[in-house]
Amino acid sequence: MPVATQKFYLTTPIYYVNARPHIGHAYTTIVADVIARRHRLLGHETFFLTGTDEHGQKIERSANAAGIPPTEFADEVSASFRALWDRMGITYDDFLRTTEPRHKAGVQRLFKLLQDRGYIYLSTYTGQYCVSDEAYVDGPGGVRCPDCGRVTETVSESNYYFKLSAFQQPLIDQIESSDTSAQISIQPESRRNEVLSFLRSGLKDLSISRTSFKWGIPVPGDEAHVVYVWLDALANYMTAIGYGSDDPADVAKFERFWPADLHLVGKEIIRFHCVYWPAFLMAAGLPLPKAVTAHGWLLFEESKMSKSRGNIVRAETILDGFGEQVYARQFPESTKVERDLFASDVLRYFLLREIPFGQDGGFSFGALIQRYNSDLANGYGNLVSRTLKLIEQSCSGEIPERHASVHTGDETGLRLLFPVDDGMSPYDFRVDAISTTSIFADCVARSEFSIALGEVWSYIAKLDGFVTRYAPWKLTSSLVADDAVRLNAILYTAAESIRIITALLYPVLPEATAKVWSQLGLGDIGEAAREGRLRDLSWGGLEPGTKLGPLAPIFPRADKGLAQTMNDMEQSNAPTASRLSNELTSAAPDTASDPTHPAAPPRTSAIGEAHPITQVAGSGALTTERELSPSHTEARASGLFATRASAQPMPIAPVSTEVAPGAAASAQITIDEFAKVELRVARVLVAERIPKADKLLRLEVDLGYERRQILSGIAEWYTPEELVGRKIVVITNLAPRKMRGLESHGMLLAASSGENGRPALATFAETDAIEVGARLK
């Protein structure tokens, strides 16, 4: 094993545990894994850290809403992140949880150090706070968070402050320093500019403790305060490698690895990493990270994939879809681990190839399958399979002789064998392999993964054209003496090119390249990486006479229908009500509200059937009766959200829910049955139209303990402006449903009247002394 002279310490953001992972999180982790594998094969002593961010108001509220203690809540979600990374073969070296004692010790030490160095003082904060981003926001009460657009909350607390304002100029100097070894490199350039303009607009001191809730790390010496969650979270990059411990092994580890060489982050958290974090470190007298690189967002159906929007794709859907429908069909005897790792490669390749790094990129199952078939099955996979089969058939399964002149660079002998001088001789592939290797390395070093892969695929296409042009299969039985030499030159060129491409692709496609490597007769690719054999890729490394390993398809073709299958899987994986904020279990069909479901109770014209809203509104049991339609005796209660899996909005008035005088007697429910329906007062924070859906509005409502997205078919009757700020009634315990790729987490209560079923939302007046979140019963 080569002696590691250089270290490389790389981190992902630590993920919030308010919801289980989706492919947006997987994107960051995959990119980090690719970078870590690349550095390891370059011989660097690499440390790759990931983990979960478990404290703060947002997690506390999610746990409260789920009715379980935050520790238990965090345990479950954190485990779901770790389990996914393990399933995907992510090679993290440590997984830090901010609830671990080692982290708490380090955070408290850092806080104390900042205090001792005079950068912390006690004052009162009155201002706005965005719970979703855990960020302080400038502006008047009710102002929206500039990052996520949500309405902020007013906070008035006695807090510890950090003297951030003292670091404005030092930070600018650091970022602009001409001494590149002292500089924090911020990539891409646009993000660096964003940070600089934020800094130039002035820095105010930052509140770094909270007193209005308990779920956090206590401030040392003043336990009424918990440490601000971003200070807590950012410190993970140091506590994971020993900061806060006096154990000599931890001290040595910290000295070896700090500062981080790269913090990889999503673009929305660049400010925390390029302003707050370096300022804390400067104040503590600690070295600053060398680089922060931000990637863009993964979009699904044109908006950022996120739990609150409900437009989420899970990595598990792709692992199951490709693992079961593609790999297991070809290899029924394969293990689950093999299937998962095969599918994980598919996702890795797609994300890195499809999205120009740094930009936002759309995800679709169709594009995933298209890329897989064209680039992996037909491109790389087909090239490997036809080349190795030919070697098996015509060279007794051994790597043939290389043509001396390719090796020495003397073209003359080759020109006689390959007279067409158009850049397609074996000699040209040697030259191309050298330039592809160097372009690939440069691009990966600049995080330009898509360009790097594009370069390799141009080489693959050219090599494929070469094999097709010289048709080696026609030479196998030729009696012409030169043809045997030509055949060997072609097959050696193809096999050696495949070796080089495979070595380059190893960090991106670890599982597939391992198979190709062993089919080439080269043994274990992981061992080759550790021994530095994937690093020096000079032409001719493949020894003639090497015996090929057993051959098998690498990338079986995927059916186009798989896109629909995965779409369906994703829909049915949509989370249903569970204790973890509707997040952790897979969906049970919402039989009561989906009339198309075979298990749905029959809908009749009687009002007392399974539709709970009918019963509630029709019974006049609500205190909001005066807010209903004036002719409320004729009113019909409306479930104003689409419940069908087909994503078609449900008619505003559900079938036959008309309240006829006396009808209530026809089917009564018990008080216990009614109690199952959770109705709460909510305030509309956001209301907006959904592109290409005339009837639907997307609402975000505040339930006091959490914020929810609800889709409602009221766009024909209400403008978004009319709704924002209203106090309405929401049915909160309906299973979530997806429409237009968005999830709806509840239903609004309204009466509908007239032939068109015009809805009137049940609304509380501002003068009603009723809290948001209050239950109606």
Residues that bind ligand MSP (CB under 6 A): 13-16, 24-25, 27-28, 53, 233-234, 265-266, 269, 297-298, 304-306
What backbone torsions phi and psi does residue 45 show, to the nearest 5 degrees? Answer: -75, 105
Cα–Cα dist 673/609, whole Å: 12
Residue 489's contacts (CB-CB under 8 Å, 6 or more residues apart) are: 402, 403, 406, 414, 417, 418, 426
Q: On the CB side of 638, how many CA atoms lie within 13 Å of its CA?
A: 29
Cα–Cα dist 32/682, whole Å: 40
Cα–Cα dist 363/366, whole Å: 9
Task: Closer to ligand MSP by CB, 53 or 354: give it.
Answer: 53
Cα–Cα dist 529/43, whole Å: 8
Task: Closer to ligand MSP by CB, 59 or 343: give it.
Answer: 59
In which residue are the tokens 């200070």 written? 231
Task: Closer to ligand MSP by CB, 14 or 444: give it.
Answer: 14
Q: How far is the CB of 174 from ligand MSP (least distance, A)?
A: 19
Task: Closer to ligand MSP by CB, 355 or 475: give it.
Answer: 355
Q: How far is the CB of 12 from ligand MSP (least distance, A)?
A: 7
Structure tokens at 69: 């203690």
Task: Closer to ligand MSP by CB, 199 or 305: give it.
Answer: 305
Task: Closer to ligand MSP by CB, 298 or 714: give it.
Answer: 298
Task: Closer to ligand MSP by CB, 15 or 160: give it.
Answer: 15
Beta strands in 177-281 (DSSP E): 185-187, 206-207, 209-210, 218-219, 222-227, 262-266
Task: Closer to ligand MSP by CB, 14 or 319: give it.
Answer: 14
Q: How far is the CB of 306 from ligand MSP (least distance, A)?
A: 6
Q: How far is the CB of 429 from ligand MSP (least distance, A)?
A: 37
Going by their DSSP bridges, the two strands 679-690 and 303-304 should be labelled as unpaired
Q: How far is the CB of 582 from ligand MSP (least distance, A)?
A: 17
Q: On the CB side of 726, how many CA atoms lie within 13 Å of its CA?
A: 20
Going by their DSSP bridges, the two strands 15-16 and 120-130 should be labelled as unpaired
DSSP for 173-196, please give it.
HHHH-S-TTTSPEEESHHHHHHHH
Which residues does residue 53 pair with via DSSP β-bridges, in sequence order? 16
Residue 15's contacts (CB-CB under 8 Å, 6 or more residues apart) are: 21, 25, 50, 51, 52, 53, 81
Task: Closer to ligand MSP by CB, 232 or 496: give it.
Answer: 232
Q: How far is the CB of 603 from ligand MSP (least distance, A)?
A: 38
Coil, helix or strand for 701?
Answer: strand
Cα–Cα dist 430/496, whole Å: 9
Task: Closer to ligand MSP by CB, 233 or 460: give it.
Answer: 233
- Residue of 715, 105, 34, 21 lying closest to 357 (CA atoms): 34
Q: How far is the CB of 133 from ligand MSP (least distance, A)?
A: 8
Task: Closer to ligand MSP by CB, 581 or 712: give it.
Answer: 581
Q: How far is the CB of 467 from ligand MSP (least distance, A)?
A: 39
Q: How far is the CB of 18 from ligand MSP (least distance, A)?
A: 8
Q: How far is the CB of 130 from ligand MSP (least distance, A)?
A: 12
Report whether 42 contacts 536 (CB < 8 A).
no
What backbone torsions phi and psi does residue 212 show, to the nearest 5 degrees? Answer: -85, 0
Q: How many CB atoms lie within 10 A of CB 138?
A: 10
Q: How far is the CB of 357 from ligand MSP (least distance, A)?
A: 11
